[in-house]
Every structure is written in C-alpha cells, then in structure tokens.
Structure 1
Amino acid sequence: MSYYYKLFWILTTITTFLRLSVIGKLGLTVDEAHYWVYSKFLDLSYYDHPPMIGYIIKLFTDIFGINEFAVRLPSVIIFVITSWLFFLCIKKLFNERVAFIGIVLINILPVFSFLGAVVTIPDSPLSLFWILSFYLFINIIETKEKKYWYILGLVVGLAFLAKYTAVMIYPSIILFLICSKENRFWFLKKEPYLAMIISFIIFLPVVVWNIQNNWASFGFQLQHGFGKSLPSFSFTLFGRSIGAQAGYVSPFLFIFFCYVAYVLIKDAFFKKQKDALFVASFSLPVLFFFNAIATFNEILPHWPAMGYLILTIYAAYIINKFWDNSKFRKIIYFSCGFALFLDLIVPVHCIYKFIPIEPFLPKKETQKVEYGIPKAEIVDVSNDLYGWKELSSEINKVYDSYPEDKKPFLFTHKSYLASQIYFYTPDIRVYCLSGKIDAYDLWQRDISALKNKDGLFITSNMFDFKNPEKIYPFAEFEQPIEVPVYRNNKLVKKFWITKCKNFNPDLLPEKYTANIIGQKKSLMQGLIDTDHRLFKFINIDVKNKFFDFIISNVSFYDDKGVNPSVIVIVLVTLIILRKEEKNKFWILLAFIICTVIVASTLNTFIKGFLDRPRPLAVFGEGNINIFYEVLHARSFPSGHTQFAFTVMTTMLLLIPKYWYIYLTLAFATGFERIYAGCHFPIDVCCGALEGIIISYIMVKLFKKIYKL
C-alpha cells in the first residue's frame, strides 16, 4: 500500500470515528425527520424527492432501531465509500498526492464534511452515485470499453432514484463528448443511448408514481426550482445565494474555488487539457445551471453541491501545483483552517451551546422577548434540535390518559413539525392538516376515519401559529398544555399541546385537505389523463398564427391524399442517396421502401386491432382545434410519425452525416399531427418508437446479409 493511500485510510478512519461519536448525540433536523417518515409510508416515490433515501433509512432503522444514530449511520458509511471513489478518480486523473489533498478538502468543506457525511439527506446517496458515474465515465473514455456504458446507465438510474439533480449527469457527459473531438464518435454508437434507456427504466417507478398522482412531485420540484412566475433578474436573490454557498463551502475557500473555476475554464476549453475537461464537464454545468436560476428564484445553497464536489478535484490539483509557493501555501493553510474551525464549532455548539448569540443581533433585537423566550434563543437554530424528547414524554402522558377505545390522533399545521413529532412518538400516527400542499396530503387522502375522534394539536413558538380554534372544526378546545424546553438552565423553546374534542372533517376548509392533489389513479387512467392534458397543451395552449399558417396548409393537402411531410422526407432521402451512395442507390432505395412497407403494415394492423378514437371523437367538435382533416377513429399509433421515424432511423444508421435534417423533419411531423388535432401525444410517441425499432432491426439484418 502506497504512502498516500495509507494516509487516506488513516484520515478516513479518524474522521469516521469522530462522526460516529457525534451522530447519536443530536436531535434530528427537520429534513432528516421528514425523510424518516418516508420509511413509514414506503412507496414508488414521494412528493418532495425520489424514494431512495426512505428505503435506506428504513433498512438501518429496522436493524438498529428508531433513533438518531440509526438514521444518520448510512450517511457516515456512504461518505466513506464516496471518499474512496473520490480518491480513485483523482488518482486516475492526476496522482495519489493530489488525490489525498482532495480527500483532505472534502473532509474540511462544511457542505461535505458535515451536511453530506453526518446529516442524512438525499444528497448523501446522490454524491455516491455522482462520483461513481464520474469514475465510470473516465474509464469509458480511457479504455473505449463499450460494456462500461451499461454499468454507467445503471448507476445514473440509481442517482435518479436518489435526487432529481442527477438529471445533470447526462448533460455533463454530452458536454465532454462535444468538446472532445476524438471522443465524438460515441454519438454514433448505440451504447450511450442504451445507457440512457437503462437509466430511464430504473427511474420508471418515479414516473409511474407521478402518473398515478397527477405529476405532483415533478410539478412541485419544477415550481420549487424555477418559481411560480416568469423569471425576473434579481441582484438581491443572486447575492443571497452566493453568500449562502460561501457559508456552506466556507468563505475563504469559496473565493479560492471561484479562482479554481476560472483556471479550469481556461485549461479545459481554451488549452484543451483532457483532465481539466473531465472536471469541467461534471462540475461547471451544475454550478452555472443553479446559479443561473439563483438570478430569478431563491435556491437552497446545497443544490449545486455536486458541482463543488467535482470542482474540489481541480482545487486539489491547483493546491499541489503551487504548493511550493510559500505565500500561496499560507493562504491555503489559513482558508482550510477557517473551514475546519467552522466544521468543529457548529457541532460543538449544537451539543454544548457555548456561542453567545446576542453580540450578532441588533441591539433592539436582543431586548425582544416572545412567549417568555429571548430573541437570541429563537434565532439560535441549534435549539431546534432539542426538546423533542421532553415533548414526546408529555405527549405520551396525555395520550395514555385517554381510554383505549377513545385514543386521540396527533396533528399539527406544519409538515416538518409533524415529521419531528412523528419520529419521537413513532407508535402514534401524526397528521398534518396544513393550508399548504405537502407530502402528508398524499399520505392522508382520506381522513374520514377521524370523524368524531378527539385530537391533540401540537405546535411550538418556532412557528407563527398556535391557536387551532380558528381553523379546525372540533366541538371543543381545552386550554393548551405548555411544555418548556431548557438548555444550560435557560428557557430556549416552548411547545403547546391542545386537547381538541369531536373532530368533523366535513367542515375542514378545502385547502386544509388533500382534495387539491386529487385521488390516486390507476396507471392506465393516469396515462390517459396525462395524454389528454398534453394534447390540449399542444393543440390549444401553444396555438398561434405562425403554426396555424403552416399546419393548416399541411392539413389541407393531407386531406386531399397528398401529404407534404411524406413528400419532403422522400425528396430529401432521394437527394442524399443520390449524392452519397451513387453505386448503391437502387439497393438502398429498395431496402428503405421495404422497411417502410414492413413498419406501415404493422402500423395498419395495430390501428385496426385497437381502433382508438381520435381526439375529435373524444373531446367533441368545437372543443379542440382542427383544420381540414376530420378524423374520428384508428388513432393509435400515428402512421405519419411512424413513417418519418422509420426513414429517419434507417438513414441515420446508413448515412449518419445528415442526422440533423431527419431529426428535425421527424419531430416536426409528430408535432404537426398533435397540433392539427389528428393524434394524441401517445399515438405519436408509439408511432415513433415503432418506426425506430422496426428500422433498427431491418438495418441490422440488411448489414448482416450484405456484410456492410
């Protein structure tokens, strides 16, 4: 074992021991408690995130029990594996000395050393699969081994199951291939596309869940990420985001990382350095994407974390490169020392509460007292980790005072508060009846069983609402029971438990119910509803004069039996065949005609067998936009789209040089069929899929027979 490899394991062992000694001493954060609740309602996916984190927590709490140590243990273990892969990646790109510097950095940066290695959040498994994807991609480029693409597809699929941010992995791969001239040939190979298909298949449970639940998760994340209104540039939002990221990375190292990004851009895209291009492709797109969003919508500082993770590799390279410069070395020592100070002071304060908050507040704020609690204690976020066991004890005491046949249900008005209560009273179901859509709406769609039951309403001074009488339809409310929380003999927090008698869910305001989410649908019904909604979006919402002019003319001639799309595709194909394959013109033309006949015959058979109604028959005349084609039956699959994609795929496999022409024509054909009101989107997608599969099989047979 080499010198730096030994140092890696020594450092990893020490830091792992330190993390294991801390993880059981702190109460769960609101996020961790929320992800623990996932494990109580195992499903294909969840409102906030994909399902992986819930299953991981379920596994560890089943083994080690429901406690803080069990919830956080997977993050510690995952970080060890991630660190090892991180070391191997840097070693491949540079050397073991640089790799060890990189390991030191990720153990110093707060965003990784604490948030990713102690606190259990979806970013923990995401970081593992992100760095594993990076490692596999390096191997693909270095070895040219096709088999690695399939493993990469599997790993990226698992990353998708961890967090939606994983969607940035494939743009990173595409960026590298575009910028690396000698590796662009992969765009013409089937393996990258099969890898993407494998990833999608693994991600399919999340898609199925969204189809069944009205696309609740995708809709929430898109709105959460991009905002509810049209983008409007804001220096304030951008500055706040940069400041928060600087805090997560640590201020002085953040400045250094900005310099590293600048050097990386020069080395990767101007000097064409291959190693730099690897790092740039997997870090800069993530950083630029989320910081671009930060100019018009507030982002959380850990969203671009994967970009910083890979950028750390080049930071380690720069440190090693300029280490002999004494001035530079002092700057790095100071920056890392300050980051390490932040790493230590946060958990130590969380455990021992030794930092006075008053000096950091305006003088007027220090004098404020709310519910008998000084303002300094309210703003000290570490207090949120405490008091849960005291609350749990009081809840159990009140709960046990009820007869067995009249036990109350627990409820509150904030989802994260509900999750923390649930974790510390795991044997009692907790409900969240809030005016905001959240994960609990999907877990408690039907609350009719709570009718005429008593409830215990729980809140704390950390939230802006503690009076349930104004919202919840109970017959009677008792005086709240106050639960004070003390740290270092000082009052820092209060909970209130209110006994509520005889609940009537029928009178609950609709926004406090799950009605806005809707009932869970069967997969088939969910697909049909999605198909209809997407059709209306393209056919009605996208409607404009430009498209009307073009597509009305196409529809006019199509109704007369002369399809412009088919004619254009045929003419383009004849011209290209004549230009590129003069000697094989007639053979290739005959083969393409044969392929089209096979695909069209199958298409005709499926159309007749299924006989799906057209949009006009489903929605009725006057409810959708149509032009000259008045069609009612045999909608599935789209014959026009099948033809376009059959010719496109055949030509791409035979003469890939003109891929962009065929891609444009094929997608334009599919769009036209929906816009003209002739087909549903699923008709078009399946027509395209049929054309691709048939033509791929036919070309493979053709090449085998003619030994091309």
Structure 2
Amino acid sequence: MPHKKILFLILFFTVMRLVVAPSFGLGVDEAHYVLYGHFLDLSYVDHPPLVGWTQALFAHLFGESVFWARVPAILLMMLISSESYRFLLFSKATESQALWGVTALNSSFMFGAVGLMLLPENFLLALVFPIIMSVLRIEADGKTTDYIWLGIWLGLAGLSKYTAVILLPPLLLYILSKRRFDLLINPRILLSVIIGLILILPVIFWNASHQWVSFAYQSSHVAGSTVIAFKPFIRSLAAQFGAYNPFLFVIAIYGIIVSFHSKNSAIILALWIGLSIELFFILTSFLKPVLPHWPALFYLLFIPIGTVVLLSRGGKYGSIARGSILISLQLSIVIHAELSAKWGNFPDYKSPFRDIYGFDTQIRDGVALLNSLPTPKKALAVTNWSYGSRLHYYALPYGIKTFVLDNYNRQFALWEKESPIGYDLILLHSHFSDIPASLQCEETQTLKKEDILLNGRKVDTIEYLWCKNYHGMVQTKEITAQ
C-alpha cells in the first residue's frame, strides 16, 4: 500500500480526537456555529454560511450531540493532514520529511483544537492546498478544467470566511512575479471569476437584505480601534507563541525566512500566501488584539515547511526539529488526555475548563427555577454576548425562551426575533462577568447561587438573579461583580 505510513499517522491522531470529542462541552465560538445549523440561513452576521450548513447536515443525518458536532472538524483535519503531506511531497520533500511535517502540524496546540472544534477557519485551511495546486496547474498547462476548479475552490473559501479575500492579492502577486501576464488576460480566467461569484451569491443576497451588516461587523471586529498601540501587537504575538506551541512557532518563523531563498514554485506561492496572511494580521494587531486562530493559514503552511527544511539540513538541525516535534507531540497527548480524564486539580476559578464545563448544569438548574415562576412571560437570559451561544444551545432541548442582553453581536437579536422588555427574566450571572448598572427591572432577587465544581475545586460560581418585568438597558456604566 503506497504511503501507508501517512495513513497510520492520520489514523492515530483521528482516533485520539474521536475519543476526546464527547468528553467536554462546547466552547464560545463552537457553540455559536452549531447554532448556525439550527437557524439555517443564506448567511450570518459574523461569518458566511458553510460552517452552519455543515452543522445542519450532520445534525440531520446523525442527530444532535456534542460528538457529532465535532466529527466534521475531525474529518476536515484528516483531509488537511493528507493535503499537507501531498503538498510537501510535491515541493520535493522526502516521505520521511513529509511525515515529520504532518506530525508537527498535528502536535501544535492550536491545530489540536482546530481538529476538534468546527470553526470557519477549518474550511479555509482545507481549501488553501487545492487553491495552490490549481494555480500551479494553470501555470503549467492552463487547462480549462483547472480554471473551473480554481473558481470552485475560491468560491467555497468565500462561503467559509470573509478573510478568504486576503488570498486574492498573493495569488495575483505570484502570477505577476512570474511574469505570466498571459494567465491574467486569458479569457478563461473569467470562468474562475464567474464561478466564484455564483458560489458566494448567498452571502451577497443575505447582506443586501440586512443592510450589509456583515461587512460593518467585520470592519469593526478586525480593526476595533483607530488608535495604533504596541500592547495589542505584543499580546497577539504572545498568544500565537503559546497557542501554536513555542517550539513550532519558532519552526514556522524559520520556515518563512528560508522560503525567501527557495526556487520551488510551490514554496514560493505558499510564501506569498503565508506572508500576506501574517502581515495583514500583524498590521491589524496594532489596532486590536488578534485571536490566535485567525492567522492559522500561515502556521498551516510554515510549520511543515520549516520542519522539512530543518530536516533536510541534517545534523544538529535535524535533531532540533525531531526533538521539538517529539516534545510537542507528548504535550499534545497530555492535553488531550486531560480533556478526557480531567484529573487536574486547579485552584478555584483558575481552571482551563472554565469555558467548556458546566454549562449544561447551569441551564438545567436555570430552567428548573424558571418553571417555578408564576408568570407566563418568562425567559432565561445572560448579560454578556460571550455566554449567549451556550445559553441558546443548551436551552434548545427545553423549548424555553432565551435572550442575550448585549448588542455586541446582532446575530442573537435576529434569532430571538423579539424584545425581552416586559419579560420576567432569570439571569445567569457568572463569577467572571459584570453586572450592568444599566439593567432596569421592576424588582431583582437572587433565587439561587451555586458553585460549578470539578475535582472539588470551583470552576465557576453562578448566581441565578430574578429580574421581574425587565425594562431594558438605560445607562452605560457597569458594576464589577463581587
């Protein structure tokens, strides 16, 4: 069987993820995209629809569960690993070097998360290699079918994430750097453009009917400020340094540096793409901290490339690469084991499980309290948008009304379809959130307070606050929760 080693390697990581997948709750973003599948639409406020359509398909075929919500991410990571391996072989890596490159990729903490949690980035990561290979085939042969496939891949990328548009400038720059102007004036390039535009029509139609809200949201989400500052840049860089694993972060930086000297077309095109992605997010990080998964495309390309270059140099460089990868792999296995077994004994309110543990319990107890209220017009609510997706998701089986009393993400208002004003609300107030001073109720009363415990330690403390006859938010000041 050709390349059976890569099959066994991918199988190893896949089995590990399948075992871990059902053992912890949905995270902030993850739950949000699962909800996309419950509120099917042509697009959404913060992202295009492909992630939601996929969640809807899997829920329809296999039922509703945390496990099946994560299977698409696991399958996509299998595909990404296979594509990375083939890309490395195409760029003249040996089979052994390519295997080490894929091992490094899967040992990264962030790609471990990407391999478990379905985000819009997952699709973009899976599409970048077909895009690269289509461009290289067009450069070599210029067949009509390659132009068609390029349009398909770019269109799907546009259905995945708005930052897919960042891929267009490096593709153009690569063609110009090769002085292949004939590829741009070729009428078949119109096929790529037309097919890509047809595929993203759902996003265009939805935004046209919603005051182009996604574009306004993305602009504020990425930039976030008009003041240039050094602190958010440092925070963003530190987050990437930790999230991708310090050893592999250094290997990725080494990979892009040495790629400047490459004569290999595949590496040069990867360089244009990776450099454009990283520079874009470096520049925006001076305005607002960049979440570590946003520049994942850069690390997808250059962790494996850096690994291959180090191994090809041999001697101490090869030893450094193998040692770094083996340490990273061991750390990744430990993290996955902890996610499953949860044997760690962390101080109160310092648990890494804070965002992925106990929300089902909170909602269950909140529903029980809600059912005890005599009023017919009642609902569960949270005052911070970051808790909103878990509230909506875990409340689905109970068929109750839920509200997010925070306008940061307008998607919740579209799903809720009505105002919470006039409702009797039970607010789920976390130890980590603030109590808005602007909250206006006819009467407030604490019904219950409980600790969310893991191994006898407090992960969170939840206060169930009854807000009788909610009047809305009329001020902007906040009071820090005690």
Q: TM-score, normalised by structure 1?
A: 0.63
Among residues 384, 387, 390, which one is paired with 1:420 in the alignment? 390
Among residues 451, 454, 461, which one is paired with 1:494 in the alignment? 461
Structure 2 vs 1, CA of residues 510 and 65 (structure 1 numbering), >3 Å: closer, same or farther?
farther
Three-state SS of the structure 1 residue aligned to 2:46 is: coil
Aligned to 1:108: 107
Among residues 34, 40, 43, which one is paired with 1:42 in the alignment? 40
Matched-pair contact (CA < 8 Å) for 1:390–1:483: no
Shift in Å, 1:472: 4.0
The separation in 1 between residues aligned to 2:44 and 2:216, in whole angstroms, is: 12
- 1:195-210 aligned at under 5 Å gives the runs 195-210=192-207
Deviations 1:411-456 (A, max 9, x none): 1111221211222221323211125343213334532xx5644222
Matched-pair contact (CA < 8 Å) for 1:33–1:416: no
- Structure 1 counterpart of 2:57, which letter? L
Matched-pair contact (CA < 8 Å) for 1:453–1:501: yes
- Structure 2 counterpart of 1:74, which letter? P
Q: What's the % identity of the aligned pairs?
A: 26
Aligned to 1:307: 298
Structure 2 vs 1, CA of residues 313 and 253 (structure 1 numbering), >3 Å: closer, same or farther?
closer
The separation in 1 between residues aligned to 2:132 and 2:429, in whole angstroms, is: 45
Residue 395 in structure 1 maps to residue 362 in structure 2: no
The separation in 1 between residues aligned to 2:454 and 2:54, in whole angstroms, is: 32
Matched-pair contact (CA < 8 Å) for 1:436–1:511: no
Matched-pair contact (CA < 8 Å) for 2:379–2:426: yes
Structure 2 vs 1, CA of residues 275 and 397 (structure 1 numbering), >3 Å: closer, same or farther?
closer
The separation in 1 between residues aligned to 2:130 and 2:459, in whole angstroms, is: 43
Residue 266 in structure 1 maps to residue 266 in structure 2: no
Aligned to 2:157: 159
| Of 294-303 and 347-356, the range deviating more from structure 2 | 347-356
The separation in 1 between residues aligned to 2:272 and 2:79, in whole angstroms, is: 23
- Structure 1 counterpart of 2:361, which letter? E
What is the aligned length?
474
The separation in 2 between residues aligned to 1:62 and 1:431, in whole angstroms, is: 25
Three-state SS of the structure 1 residue aligned to 2:348 is: helix
Deviations 1:484-543 (A, max 9, x none): 211112233111222333345xx654989xxxxxxxxxxxxxxxxxxxxxxxxxxxxxxx
Among residues 282, 299, 318, which one is paired with 1:329 in the alignment? 318
Matched-pair contact (CA < 8 Å) for 1:435–1:511: no
Three-state SS of the structure 2 residue aligned to 1:244 is: helix
The separation in 1 between residues aligned to 2:321 and 2:332, in whole angstroms, is: 16
The separation in 2 between residues aligned to 1:491 and 1:79, in whole angstroms, is: 34
The separation in 1 between residues aligned to 2:134 and 2:308, in whole angstroms, is: 20
Residue 277 in structure 1 maps to residue 268 in structure 2: yes
Among residues 210, 217, 221, which one is paired with 1:220 in the alignment? 217
- Structure 2 counterpart of 1:306, which letter? L
Deviations 1:99-133 (A, max 9, x none): 32332222112222x12111121111121122221
Which structure would you say has the larger Rg? 1
- 1:413-562 aligned at under 5 Å gives the runs 413-426=383-396, 427-434=399-406, 436-444=408-416, 446-447=418-419, 452-465=422-435, 470-504=437-471, 508-509=473-474
Three-state SS of the structure 2 residue aligned to 1:485 is: strand
Among residues 244, 251, 254, which one is paired with 1:256 in the alignment? 251
Three-state SS of the structure 2 residue aligned to 1:266 is: coil
Aligned to 2:480: none
Three-state SS of the structure 2 residue aligned to 1:24 is: helix
Structure 2 vs 1, CA of residues 259 and 86 (structure 1 numbering), >3 Å: closer, same or farther?
closer
- 1:15-26 aligned at under 5 Å gives the runs 15-26=13-24
Deviations 1:332-380 (A, max 9, x none): 12211332233233333344445565xxxxxxxxxxxxxxxxxx43233
Aligned to 2:8: 10
Shift in Å, 1:402: 4.8
Shift in Å, 1:241: 1.9
Matched-pair contact (CA < 8 Å) for 2:70–2:117: yes
The separation in 2 between residues aligned to 1:37 and 1:275, in whole angstroms, is: 38
Deviations 1:293-334 (A, max 9, x none): 2234321122111122122342243134123x1x12221122
- 1:288-367 aligned at under 5 Å gives the runs 288-323=279-314, 325=315, 327-355=316-344
Structure 2 vs 1, CA of residues 451 and 262 (structure 1 numbering), >3 Å: closer, same or farther?
closer
Aligned to 2:241: 246
Higher helix share: 1
The separation in 2 between residues aligned to 1:240 and 1:56, in whole angstroms, is: 33
Matched-pair contact (CA < 8 Å) for 1:61–1:71: yes
Matched-pair contact (CA < 8 Å) for 1:250–1:338: no
Q: TM-score, normalised by structure 2?
A: 0.91
- RCO greater where, 1 or 2, for CA within 8 Å and sep 6 or more? 2
Aligned to 1:91: 89
Matched-pair contact (CA < 8 Å) for 2:174–2:269: yes
Aligned to 1:173: 171
Structure 2 vs 1, CA of residues 280 and 210 (structure 1 numbering), >3 Å: closer, same or farther?
same
Residue 190 in structure 1 maps to residue 190 in structure 2: no
Shift in Å, 1:17: 0.8
Among residues 79, 82, 95, which one is paired with 2:80 in the alignment? 82
Structure 2 vs 1, CA of residues 481 and 226 (structure 1 numbering), >3 Å: closer, same or farther?
same
Matched-pair contact (CA < 8 Å) for 1:34–1:416: no
The separation in 2 between residues aligned to 1:171 and 1:452, in whole angstroms, is: 51
- Structure 2 counterpart of 1:436, which letter? Y
The separation in 2 between residues aligned to 1:345 and 1:477, in whole angstroms, is: 45
Aligned to 1:678: none
Structure 2 vs 1, CA of residues 296 and 497 (structure 1 numbering), >3 Å: closer, same or farther?
closer
Shift in Å, 1:165: 1.8
Deviations 1:57-113 (A, max 9, x none): 12222333332112111100111122222222222222551432332222112222x
Matched-pair contact (CA < 8 Å) for 1:377–1:383: no
Deviations 1:124-183 (A, max 9, x none): 1121122221232232223321221111111111111111121122212112101113x3
The separation in 1 between residues aligned to 2:162 and 2:235, in whole angstroms, is: 23
Residue 287 in structure 1 maps to residue 291 in structure 2: no
Q: Any unmatched runs of 5+ in structure 1?
A: 358-375, 513-708
Shift in Å, 1:220: 1.4
The separation in 2 between residues aligned to 1:193 and 1:111, in whole angstroms, is: 37
The separation in 2 between residues aligned to 1:90 and 1:429, in whole angstroms, is: 51
- Structure 2 counterpart of 1:501, which letter? K
Three-state SS of the structure 2 residue aligned to 1:23 is: helix
The separation in 2 between residues aligned to 1:306 and 1:451, in whole angstroms, is: 43
User: What RMSD in Å do the two structures reach over aligned CA positions?
Assistant: 2.4
Deviations 1:545-601 (A, max 9, x none): xxxxxxxxxxxxxxxxxxxxxxxxxxxxxxxxxxxxxxxxxxxxxxxxxxxxxxxxx
The separation in 2 between residues aligned to 1:192 and 1:173, in whole angstroms, is: 13
Higher strand share: 2
The separation in 1 between residues aligned to 2:205 and 2:337, in whole angstroms, is: 44
The separation in 2 between residues aligned to 1:283 and 1:193, in whole angstroms, is: 26
- Structure 2 counterpart of 1:384, which letter? D
| Of 53-62 and 135-144, the range deviating more from structure 2 | 135-144
Matched-pair contact (CA < 8 Å) for 1:129–1:155: yes
The separation in 1 between residues aligned to 2:109 and 2:459, in whole angstroms, is: 26
Residue 61 in structure 1 maps to residue 56 in structure 2: no
The separation in 2 between residues aligned to 1:142 and 1:53, in whole angstroms, is: 33
Structure 2 vs 1, CA of residues 344 and 137 (structure 1 numbering), >3 Å: closer, same or farther?
same
The separation in 2 between residues aligned to 1:402 and 1:65, in whole angstroms, is: 32
